[in-house]
Structure 1
Amino acid sequence: MKKITLICLALLFSLVSCNQETKEEKIARIHTKALTLDSHTDTPLRFTRDNFSIAEKHDGKATYSRVDLPRMQEGGLDAVFIAAFISQRARTAEGHEKANQITHKIIDSIYAQVSRNEKKVAIGTKPESAYENEKNGKHTFYIGIENGFALGKDIQEIERFYNRGVRYITLAHTSNNDICDSSTDSTEHNGLTDFGKEVVKKMNETGMIIDVSHISDKSLNDVIELTRTPIIASHSNARAICDNPRNLTDDMLKKVAENGGVVQVCLLSDYVKPPVPQPKRDSAFDALRRKWRGFDDLTEEERAQAVREWHATQRNFPQKLATVSDLADHIDHIVKIAGIDHVGIGSDFDGGGGLKDCFDVSEMQNITKELVKRGYSEKEIIKIWGGNFMRVFKEVEEKKTKV
């Protein structure tokens, strides 16, 4: 009897051992289960030049392209907000009109890319879109606008953009505009302008998510005081970990949490970890900025050439990049200060984002790997990867009063 019992116990132990999940299996399972959402890439910058196709797998190290459908599949990324980025131009009637035209042209290019690959990707307009598309084996492209300069001074453009599928607007970029001050420009308005306050109200009414990445500290505080819906920072980090004006202070993190919003950590290395001095590289990029007038007010042809030269300079002077572990330090800090319900991921791929071990979208699972390593639970990782953002998205939609 004892011998039989021992045999049974051995068999039971063997069965349990066979059923034990390896660490790699756990990472893959959680990553697959989560609705993985990247809240900010600038990939459409490529859609209007160089015959770029999202259906083709591109060599990230050779082209500095970070996102396409084959690599989204490899990295297990379900959905992405791709931004119609507009650089700051002269704040004149002509400048506003040109910016608006370019933004609509970029949106056209997004729809064109999707229509050519409709079996693999679809435009999303609601939080449910990504979940439904995932079940049907499709990726989801959501549309954002980076730089409220695209509105000009026409408040009705918010509704027009919404009707075209746009679901968030980043209020400013690297320079001040007619809505508010930028975090990387001098103080001009001391926060939101009167027009900016009207923009916030109209976005609330329309169901458009307000994105506070890039805007000044005072501008962010003004938005939080005025908005009646949760906000996002689509690609920003914690200033306590990396002291950069593009990142949020602990006080700002707390205010975003009180607002019910979410801060989406950014993979742009300089916002993750203070850059290692590289004098030759810095000089080369300074020369490019002078040549292309700070990349402001460029024609489409000039911008395309400037981007090519920028990528060539990146290849000639490769940056010493931060790591996924460095990025996770920001997630840890935001969780500590704001709570687990107020952090997500917004890579800024194709706009400067990319880490040593998450260079492009094909390596996104490395973030899940690091979170598992640090002891985050499955439930917490699902919140970080998309759950928190979708909660905000849904609430903004539910509180809209006019479309």
Structure 2
Amino acid sequence: MKKVYLTGLFIPLIVVLLSCESLDQKATKIHNHAFTIDTHVDTPYHLLDKDFDISISHPFVNGGSLVDFPRMKAGGLDGIFFAAFTSQKERTDENIITARCKADELIDSIYAACQKNSNLADVAISVEDGYRLEKEGKRAIYIGLENGFPIGKDIAEVERYFTKGVRYITLCHTSNNDICDSSTDKNGAEFNGLSAFGEQVVPKMNDLGIIIDVSHISDSSFFDVIKLSKTPVIASHSCARAVCDNPRNLSDKMLKALAKNGGVIQMCILDDYVKAPDTATVGYQKELELRTRYRNAGKMSKEEEDKLWDEWRQMQIDYPKDKPTVADAVDHIDHIVNLIGIDHVGIGTDFDGGGGLKDCADVSQMMNITKELLKRNYSEEEIGKIWGGNFMRVFKEVEEYAKNKKMALN
């Protein structure tokens, strides 16, 4: 019998098979090689719930926490910023002290969770800590203060929060405070940007080594910060206004100024910032009503606050949203990269504060963002920058400025 050798076909087939690494395999390799960080989640409120155990993996449920240490590991997430969030109230001494106590309680809960689960995670306060903990196979838990309201008009509070481990401060939230105007205050601008006190806060944060977070602040506040800050700034959880016209997002003019400053915008995956919401739905109206009631509430007891959080979680169960997709979110990255380059974009999900997509519902599914980036031909180096390289560069520059400032004073 005559033998037929198909060498000419066989060798190219082997080459093709060897080079056909699947999307999942390639994404896993790139994702696990990068230092990945999410710069904004609101998980600390769940830590106040005695029944919530962050050391165990929880199934996804509407209204439940989207973050725990095992799901961080499953999603290939090395570092995360837990936000100590306080809402805006009337700016009375009593309300500021109450907010200060709440922020401290949230920060203390982060330390307690990490101390209890020191084999899984630890509080990080520097760039070096993040990389060290990654090598140790632990999650690096950074702390951000969302809303400068607890600072009031006491500049010493900025340093106190730095001493407690806070490494960024979101200058305001949904309403104006004593530092600056918000992008969403129902009464409009109060200071036309930074207040006189805010003009003290920005350089104080620079000198201490606290990253300035411009998410939530008004356009005029943003440009005041850019003009005054000696270090790059971040938007810890914002998107591009040109893609989704929301005042919480950054306009192209703001993005260009951010790039000139050397800063970074951390793409948020909260639905209303990714795509314009359907305002006709019952769920939207219920959420709006709940947010309005919360903003207008005066001093609340712990029981009243717990009841409000329970209502928020129940609303998410009763009125689940038709959420955007990872592809919709990455449209924002595309726009930002095309406008200002690859060095000024990262990721800040806002999980447990409303963040989450159809195909990135919790922290265990973060690799789906990497897969979408690969589909759009982003390189391994570019994906590494998006997932943490850009943010950690800014963080390092902020650290170095404060170090040099301290040395100059000594």
Normalization by structure 1: what TM-score?
0.95
3-state secondary structure, aligned to 2:190:
coil
Cα distance, 1:81 vs. partner? 0.5
Whether the aligned pair in 1 keeps the contact of 2:87 and 2:295 (CA below 8 Å) is: no
* Deviation (angstroms), 1:12: 7.6
Q: C-alpha offsets along residues 319-375 of structure 1, whole Å, 9 cap, x if unaligned?
A: 111110010010001111121000000000011101111111011000000000011
For 1:223, the equivalent position in structure 2 comes to: 225
Q: Does structure 1 conserve the Cα–Cα contact (< 8 Å) formed by 2:88 and 2:295?
A: no
- Report the equivalent of 2:178: 178
Select the residue among 324, 327, 330 that pairs with 1:325: 327
1:133 corresponds in structure 2 to 133
- Correspondence for 2:49: 49
Q: Bigger CA drift: 347-356 or 122-131?
A: 122-131
CA gap of 1:12–1:271, structure 2 versus 1, over 3 A, is closer
| Aligned match of 1:92 | 92
CA contact (8 A) 1:87 1:296 kept: no
Shift of 1:402: 3.8
**Residue in 2 aligned with 1:188?**
190
CA drift at 1:296: 6.0
- What's the secondary structure of 2:38's corresponding residue? strand
User: What is the distance in 2 between the residues matched to 1:209 and 1:375?
Assistant: 31
Residue number in structure 1 paired with 2:344: 342
Q: Tell me by how many angstroms 1:53 deviates.
A: 1.7
Name the residue aligned to 2:203.
201
1:117 corresponds to: 117
Q: Following the alignment from structure 1 to structure 2, what is the Cα–Cα distance between the partners of residues 159 and 388?
A: 26
User: CA separation in 2, counterparts of 1:378 and 1:41?
Assistant: 25
Counterpart pick for 2:312 among 310, 313, 316: 310
- Cα 1:22–1:98 shift into 2, 3 Å: same
1:261 aligns with 2:256: no
- Of 368, 373, 382, the match for 1:380: 382
Single out whichever of 92-101 and 8-17 deviates more from structure 2. 8-17
Q: Which amino acid aligns with 2:377?
A: G
SS at match of 1:253: helix
Check the 8 A contact 1:36/1:76 in 2, yes or no. yes
Instruction: Give the one of 244, 247, 262 matched to 2:249.
Output: 247
Question: Measured at CA, do residues 130 and 88 of structure 1 come closer, stay the same or move farther in structure 2, by a change above 3 Å?
Answer: same
1:29 aligns with 2:24: no
Q: Which whole-Å CA distance do the structure 1 matches of 2:292 and 2:339 have between them?
A: 39
3-state SS of the aligned residue for 1:142?
Answer: strand
Greater shift, 384-393 or 66-75, is seen at: 66-75
Q: CA deviation at 1:148?
A: 0.5
Aligned to 1:156: 156
8 A contact 1:276–1:320 mirrored in 2? no
Aligned residue for 2:362? 360
User: 2:63·2:316 contact (CA, 8 Å) conserved in 1?
Assistant: no
TM-score w.r.t. length of structure 2: 0.93
Q: Contact 2:89–2:297 (CA<8 Å) still a contact in 1?
A: no
SS across alignment from 2:355 = coil
SS, match of residue 213 in structure 1 = coil
Aligned mates of 2:357, 2:311 — CA distance in 1: 21
Q: CA deviation at 1:4?
A: 12
Structure 1 residue 279, shift from structure 2 partner: 2.9
Partner of 1:299: 301
Q: Structure 1 residues 315 and 335 mapped into 2: Cα distance closer, same or farther (>3 Å)?
A: same
Deviation sequence 1:122-164 (CA, Å, 0-9, x none) = 1111112121111111111000000011212111111111111
Q: Percent identity over the alignment?
A: 54
Contact 2:89-2:295 within 8 A present in 1 as well: no
Task: Output the amino acid matched with 2:23.
Answer: K
Contact 1:84 1:144 (C-alpha < 8 Å) held by counterparts: yes
Change over 3 Å in CA distance of 1:291–1:333 after alignment to 2: closer
CA drift of 1:19 comes to 5.6
Q: Which residue of 2 aligns with 1:142?
A: 142
CA distance in 1, matches of 2:299, 2:249: 26
Calculate the aligned-residue CA RMSD, in Å: 2.0
Distance 1:295 1:60 in 2: 30
Letter aligned with residue 358 of structure 1: C
Seen in structure 2, the aligned counterparts of structure 1 residues 336 and 100 have a Cα distance that, compared at 3 Å, is same
Q: Does the 8 A contact of 1:88 with 1:297 survive in 2?
A: no
Q: Relative to structure 2, which stretch is displaced further, 224-233 or 297-306?
A: 297-306
Amino acid at match of 1:189: F
Partners of 1:257 and 1:291 in 2: CA distance = 37
Greater shift after overlay, 125-134 or 218-227? Answer: 125-134
Corresponding residue for residue 351 of structure 1? 353
**How far apart in 2 are the matches of 1:291 and 1:208?**
32
Give the 3 Å change call, closer, same or farther, for CA 16–285 of structure 1 in structure 2: closer
